Structure 1
Amino acid sequence: MTSQARPLRIALLSYKGNPFCGGQGVYVRHLSRELAALGHRVEVIGAQPYPVLDSVGEGVTLTELPSLDLYRQPDPFRTPGRGEYRDWVDALEVATMWTGGFPEPLTFSLRARRHLAARRAEFDVVHDNQTLGYGLLGLGLPLVTTVHHPITVDRRLDLAAAQDWKRRLSVRRWYGFTRMQKRVARRLPSVVTVSGSSRDEIVEDLGVRPGRIHTVPIGADTRLFSPDPAVPEVPGRIVTTSSADVPLKGLVFLVEALAKVRTQRPDAHLVVVGKRPEKGPVADAINGFGLEEAVRFVKGISDAELVDLIRGAEVACVPSLYEGFSLPAAEAMATGTALLATTGGAIPEVAGPDGETCLAVPPGDSGALAAGLERLLADPALRRRLAAAGRARVLAHFTWTRAAEATVALYHQAIASHPHRGSAPKGRGELRDQPPPAGGPRTTASAPLGPVVTRTAPEGKSTAPSGRTETEPGPVGSKS
């Protein structure tokens, strides 16, 4: 068997794998499944909220590398009890939170470094999913890192939306980890991103040399997200995905557009896959326009429920100001639902030409969104034409199988070019090598490391809820 054909042992790192929202959990779930389908062994190493995984045989396992879970509901920004502290990394995590910063990328990278140092011989390659923490430098293993888009983009948009100096100061503290991510990104041997737009942002914002960046588009699970004529369209239904009330997602402009559309189409209504905000711009717009009965939020739904929700919509809408890829666009197109999308970030790369595979409008323009919605709601023939062309585009360019095959090729490049295969990572204290644990699914524990649980993913498709939004750095906003 050639080295290219040999099954690889892959450590896939994800500091946040929320199955309810956030693109990181979606990426890890689908990529790990397709890598296993190609014959490789994938061990997902993640922190809370842990990802939900699908399995192909025993090809996918999950190792839980717990943090202190400081942002969990219903007590976010909590102070841990004295007995919860295990080591200096835990103390660093709490101290960073207390000063208004977001610690998880750094502290997860330190825990992952320690864990991998003890198991270096068990993996051929490490794939980091946008942690970009100091602990990942000098691992002694081939490393590939996915950057969906630089979080500096989120930082700029949040600063622009901040209404006073106190909020701007809070935003700057929260996004302090982006300085670390810039430094780490410039030293990475291989960066994977999901679109040409994100590639340009990584070069501009993070300073990564273009020759180190590889574009591998992701996509939809086209077996799940598929048309079903048996599901009737609901007149006036518009569906969108928004995990949080943040400027990046542009949901407030869609709510404003809905108010305009309902003056001509009283049956028009919006279903948002995400949590209803209790306050903020979206909540204010819904209340101000009297749309409480016309905007419904749903969360925690299964994949099957999500697909039927999209199938039953007359229009799927992506109103974002910026996206690094836009899974919601790809999944709506794969389902055979007509798409209205902005031209923010990489969305045009996914959605395709205006009038051919979607209707495209400028970001941040509620009037343009309203005009697009009115046009689509009034023209069933146009919806059918865009829906058919959209699905064909996804099948041709944006599937998880294609993404996995291209990613494996990058793994082999990283392995072939790694200069010190098998050398020990440098570190001090608790980052030094430790005796490797016994192989196979297991539970191990050590005083400084805390409990580490490895379990095999359940056979077949998971029915747990899945997020459909792009990567988020953690809880949106910060504690003031």
Structure 2
Amino acid sequence: MTAEAIQAASPRPPAGVSAADGDRPLSIALLTYKGNPFCGGQGVYVRHLSRELARLGHTVEVIGAQPYPVVDQGFHLPEGAPGGRVGLTELPSLDLYRQPDPFRTPRPGEYRDWIDALEVAMMWTGGFPEPLTFSLRARRHLAARRGAFDVVHDNQTLGYGLLGLERTGFPLVTTIHHPITVDRQLDLDAATGWRRRASVRRWYGFTRMQKRVARRLPAVLTVSGSSRQEIVDHLGVRQDRVHVVHIGADTGLFSPDPSVAEVPGRIVTTSSADVPLKGLIHLVEALAKLRTENPRAHLVVVGKRAEDGPVAAAIERYGLEGAVEFVKGISDQELVDLVRGAQIACVPSLYEGFSLPAAEAMATGTPLVATTGGAIPEVAGSDGDTCLAVPPGDAGALAAALGRLLDPDTGSELRRRLGARGRERVLRRFTWEQAARGTAEHYREAIAAQAVRAPGLVRTA
């Protein structure tokens, strides 16, 4: 069966069905303290999940702080299909980390209340206040709108303001993409000197709050089996409270297009330059090895370039200034065409809770080289049938895998086979429609559980 046939055969609700599972449509508040899709995977999650929930008939109100989420309010629905809508409510913070003046001190007239003062005080002491302060603002906002929503879905805020939210009449579901304690440990491992390590510990102080809150939540969703186990191990959440709902790629947007010409030797990756978790330095080292045999090999990084730091130093050390390009702020269509035109997509991360870039690259039919860090094998496979898998942090193994795909004799056929089977895998297992259906099922379970615990508080149609 072809990839397109798999997609066409996926079950869809008949016209006239009001919601994902045939019951009444739901009204959903989707909270996100950092929801811009250009800031990372959490923003992509909010945008695509909200749109697909609306396509299934639900009404979704995204409630977010700066950088504000991007939502699809004018999406297309097939004729005769039921559909909800997506709205956006802006819940402003003081936006202390905005460019070009991050870590700014607000003017006296900007302070509105005690939450603003708390936000500044935490920033002054080297902490990251946004998960806590957004949760407090969200709780206040929701308390003023009792009865407005069937369910509240928190996107990894895990702030103290969420505790007790159900007592105000809102069943609560929370998504934890992966425990931020993983990022904290990798940043500590990469830190040099006691001052830098102390700064990392202060910045990640909010993870103590997130641990305490996560343990008290009634229902946690996560995006992979790997993340589920880490939530249990790192955060101490009971295993029976954590449920896996895989996310996916926008397979209509990320799709093959033979009219986009391949650029010989091009490798594309999505990464923040000096986030140790993303493993970009190992890919730069691999590129240096690869170019000794294939001088046309070059790397395009979708992400911001750091002017100094380990990656910049490695690029200079290996003489790769002309072989590594950083692009940022590109449109969705520009990103898709960039991936389509690459001969290889690469995910060099030391750890991923899911890896949207892997799923998106596979959806375009671009062959993938990826590490086995975290949940990446769960998404991309690890048997050589849908991607070439290498150990995380191993530049030599990365260079060897990239070299196999660029081999002038055998690389072309291997790229074709991996690309076709990778797309089939995504269409079969990782689409946003499937994610929305699975998420809606857990909303209904949360509503039913709330009705048992506090029947007088549950919103009725």
Provide the C-alpha distance between the structure 2 equivalents of 1:4 and 1:259, rounded to a whole number of angstroms. Answer: 55
Aligned residue runs from structure 1 range 104-183, under 5 A: 104-139=130-165, 140=168, 141-183=170-212
| Per-residue CA distance 1:19-58 (angstroms, 9 max, x = gap) | 3231111000000000000000000000000011112476
Q: 1:161 to 1:421 in 2, by over 3 A?
A: farther
Provide the C-alpha distance between the structure 2 equivalents of 1:412 and 1:353, rounded to a whole number of angstroms. Answer: 35
Aligned residue runs from structure 1 range 9-28, under 5 A: 9-28=27-46
| Per-residue CA distance 1:294-337 (angstroms, 9 max, x = gap) | 00000010111000000000000000000000000000000000
CA contact (8 A) 1:4 1:412 kept: no
Q: Equivalent residue for 2:360?
A: 331
1:236 aligned onto 2:268: no
Provide the C-alpha distance between the structure 2 equivalents of 1:169 and 1:421, rounded to a whole number of angstroms. Answer: 48
How far has the Cα of 1:225 moved from its partner? 0.3
Q: Equivalent residue for 1:386?
A: 418
Provide the C-alpha distance between the structure 2 equivalents of 1:264 and 1:244, rounded to a whole number of angstroms. Answer: 25
Aligned residue runs from structure 1 range 205-354, under 5 A: 205-354=234-383
Provide the TM-score with structure 1 as the length reference: 0.87
CA contact (8 A) 2:58 2:84 kept: no
Q: Equivalent residue for 1:435?
A: none
Provide the C-alpha distance between the structure 2 equivalents of 1:290 and 1:43, rounded to a whole number of angstroms. Answer: 49
Provide the C-alpha distance between the structure 2 equivalents of 1:421 and 1:162, rounded to a whole number of angstroms. Answer: 51
Aligned residue runs from structure 1 range 94-113, under 5 A: 94-113=120-139
Q: Equivalent residue for 1:455?
A: none
| Structure 2 unaligned regions, length at least 5 | 1-17, 76-82
Q: Equivalent residue for 2:215?
A: 186
3-state SS, counterpart of residue 20 of structure 1: helix
Provide the C-alpha distance between the structure 1 equivalents of 2:87 and 2:160, rounded to a whole number of angstroms. Answer: 25
Q: Equivalent residue for 1:363?
A: 392
Provide the C-alpha distance between the structure 2 equivalents of 1:423 and 1:138, rounded to a whole number of angstroms. Answer: 13
3-state SS, counterpart of residue 228 of structure 1: coil
Q: Equivalent residue for 1:59?
A: 85
How far has the Cα of 1:421 moved from its partner? 5.1
Provide the C-alpha distance between the structure 1 equivalents of 2:176 and 2:455, rounded to a whole number of angstroms. Answer: 24
CA contact (8 A) 2:273 2:311 kept: no
3-state SS, counterpart of residue 147 of structure 2: helix
Aligned AA for 2:161?
Answer: G
How far has the Cα of 1:422 moved from its partner? 5.6
Aligned AA for 2:195?
Answer: K
How far has the Cα of 1:5 moved from its partner? 1.1
How far has the Cα of 1:349 moved from its partner? 0.2
What is the aligned counterpart of 1:87 among 104, 113, 116?
113
After alignment, is 284-293 or 398-407 more displaced?
Answer: 284-293
CA contact (8 A) 1:144 1:189 kept: yes
How far has the Cα of 1:244 moved from its partner? 4.2
CA contact (8 A) 1:21 1:274 kept: no
| Per-residue CA distance 1:37-89 (angstroms, 9 max, x = gap) | 00000000000000111124760000000000000000000000000000000
How far has the Cα of 1:262 moved from its partner? 0.6
CA contact (8 A) 1:142 1:421 kept: no
Provide the C-alpha distance between the structure 2 equivalents of 1:355 and 1:64, rounded to a whole number of angstroms. Answer: 45
3-state SS, counterpart of residue 43 of structure 1: strand
Q: 1:238 to 1:112 in 2, by over 3 A?
A: same
Provide the C-alpha distance between the structure 1 equivalents of 2:274 and 2:150, rounded to a whole number of angstroms. Answer: 40
Q: Equivalent residue for 2:49?
A: 31
CA contact (8 A) 2:135 2:162 kept: yes
Q: Equivalent residue for 1:7?
A: 25
Provide the C-alpha distance between the structure 2 equivalents of 1:422 and 1:394, rounded to a whole number of angstroms. Answer: 43
1:76 aligned onto 2:102: yes
Provide the C-alpha distance between the structure 1 equivalents of 2:456 and 2:65, rounded to a whole number of angstroms. Answer: 26
Regions of 4+ moved over 3 Å: 1-4, 421-424
How far has the Cα of 1:286 moved from its partner? 0.6
What is the aligned counterpart of 2:433 among 396, 401, 404?
401
| Structure 1 unaligned regions, length at least 5 | 425-480
How far has the Cα of 1:354 moved from its partner? 2.8
CA contact (8 A) 1:225 1:332 kept: yes
CA contact (8 A) 2:272 2:305 kept: no
The structure with the largest helix share of the pair is 2
Q: How many residues align?
A: 424
Q: 1:4 to 1:176 in 2, by over 3 A?
A: farther
How far has the Cα of 1:420 moved from its partner? 2.2
3-state SS, counterpart of residue 349 of structure 1: helix
Which has the bigger relative contact order, CA under 8 A and spacing at least 6?
A: 1
CA contact (8 A) 2:405 2:415 kept: yes
Provide the TM-score with structure 2 as the length reference: 0.90
CA contact (8 A) 2:56 2:84 kept: no
Q: Equivalent residue for 2:63?
A: 45
CA contact (8 A) 1:120 1:422 kept: no
3-state SS, counterpart of residue 13 of structure 1: strand
3-state SS, counterpart of residue 263 of structure 1: coil
Provide the C-alpha distance between the structure 1 equivalents of 2:53 and 2:349, rounded to a whole number of angstroms. Answer: 30
